[in-house]
Structure 1
Amino acid sequence: MAKTESTLKNMVLTLLVITGVAGASLGSMYELTKEPIAAAKLAKQQAAIKEVVPEFNNNPGEEVYEAQSKEGFTLKFFPAKKDNQLVGTAIETMTNTGFGGDVKIMVGLKPDGSIINYQVLEHKETPGLGTKMDVWFKTDKDNQSIVGKNPAKNNLTVSKDGGEVDAITAATISSRAFLDAVRVAYETYNQNNPAVEKGGKDESVE
């Protein structure tokens, strides 16, 4: 077999063939993994909804609605109903003030805005420190838990900033970010739900 002459034209053609094959392979891989990834995200979302609101017998995903926070985030609201009565709303909320960037959580609020529970969806915080937020703010110890608190009545910022919540040890920035995501959820819900008690103040500290 004759050796291909090493010319600029041949090198360019070879490079185009290689990039074409690589691009086609990546495209095929994306198509193969797109649906499983979407299904996994949906399953995680559904599990989070069940975790943060009381028992319900409607399909919150079918009644989901969106609203913009004043920060420009698009939040998703999943109304949970029992026998057609609203028992809570699961809110997919976020902040970009985390140590590693975005922090996304699902937080459940009662119709009056009180916090039912929460679940962390995504974050890039320091492993072993910021990752403790998964359980820290629902642990009934000292002033860690935010469960049952109402942002209209409770100052849900870290105690270091004059608030009522103990920050995660050695992870104050992550704690501020988590509580900021809760604040964003409450304030946006407050603006879109007249049943929420008014009078909550934004006392978060960046």
Structure 2
Amino acid sequence: MSLEQIRGKLFYQGLLLGAVALLTSAALALASHVTEVDIKAAEAADLKQSLTQVLPGTYDNDLLKDTVTLPGKDGDVLVYRARHEGKVEAVVYRMIGHGYAGALVCVMGVSREGKILGVRVIKHAETPGLGDKIDPAKSDWIHSFEGKWLGEPVAEKWAVKKDGGVFDQFAGATITPRGVVKAVKQGLEFFEQNRAALLDEAAAEGAVK
């Protein structure tokens, strides 16, 4: 085989290898794009399900697209707003508490009157059989927040009974419910501190002027 033939063969093999690499990259990029779309759709569905668990009733806007971000005690808080005929009737947002085994990620729904519509702990690492009673599938404890507001009970009673409050603690696990109660109370304080912005009242007042 001559030198020219060898060079031609190597050139051909290089082109072939490059084409295969290009096709493989294109296939991987397409698969990644399709997978990313599916993942985002699944995440959106899960998020909407979490929001509706603490938001009884019907609303005529897309919760996931009607949001506002406001500064909170531990960082920015992303708030989802539920409207009926353009008026904000309720808001949903996350608060972080601290349990025995780590962070307690709570999502809570609050009516425009400042009353709790629902609370769920959507992420935790508490001990099975003890701290996991914050899960509504394990007990009704989490429902004890519904209808409560900062005036009922009064501020000093927003605690577990062991600390002089009105909320039950769990046998052998006081830290977990204590963390949830504290997070929910902070969530109500956040609502009161940002009521106008959350309910779009500031914008409405500006329009009237």
TM above 0.5 = yes
Alpha-carbon shift at residue 158 of structure 1 (Å): 0.4
> CA–CA distance in 1 between the matches of 2:146 and 2:191?
17
- Runs of 4+ aligned residues of structure 1 deviating over 6 Å after TM superposition are none
1:86-136 deviation digits (Å, cap 9, x = unpaired): 2211112212x2111111111111112111112221111112222210223
User: What pairs with 1:149-164 in structure 2 (closer than 5 Å)?
Assistant: 149-154=148-153, 155-164=157-166
Q: Secondary structure at the match of 1:45?
A: helix
**How many angstroms apart in 1 are the aligned matches of 2:37 and 2:102?**
26
CA distance in 1, matches of 2:101, 2:174: 13
Counterparts of 1:37 and 1:152, CA distance in 2: 42
User: How has the CA–CA distance of structure 1 residues 167 and 82 changed in structure 2, closer, same or farther, with 3 Å as cutoff?
Assistant: same
1:59 correspondence with 2:59: no
What is the match of residue 201 of structure 2?
Answer: none
Bigger Rg, which one: 2
SS in 1 for 2:46: helix
- TM-score normalised according to structure 1 size: 0.69
Residue 39 of structure 1 and its aligned partner are, at CA, apart by 4.0
Matches of 2:120 and 2:38 in 1, distance apart?
22
The code of the aligned residue for 2:176 comes to S
Which residue number corresponds to residue 137 of structure 1?
141
Residues 108 and 116 of structure 2 are in contact (CA less than 8 Å); yes or no, is this contact kept in structure 1?
yes
Q: Distance in 2 between matches of 1:128 and 1:148?
A: 27
**Aligned amino acid, residue 65 of structure 1:** V
CA offset at residue 164 of structure 1? 0.9
The CA RMSD over aligned residues, in Å, is 2.5
Change (3 A) 1:40 1:100: farther
How many residue pairs match? The answer is 161
Identical pairs, percent: 27
> Normalising to structure 2: TM-score of the pair?
0.68
Greater helix share, structure number: 2
The answer to whether the 8 A contact 1:112-1:195 is kept is no
Residues 133-161 of structure 1, C-alpha deviation per residue, up to 9 Å, x if partnerless?
0223345xxxxx11111123313210111
Q: The residue matched to 2:189 in structure 1 has which SS?
A: helix
Structure 1, unmatched stretches of 5+, are: 1-27, 140-144, 197-206
The 5-angstrom pairing of residues 1-206 of structure 1 reads 37-53=39-55, 54-70=57-73, 72-95=74-97, 97-135=98-136, 136-139=140-143, 145-154=144-153, 155-194=157-196
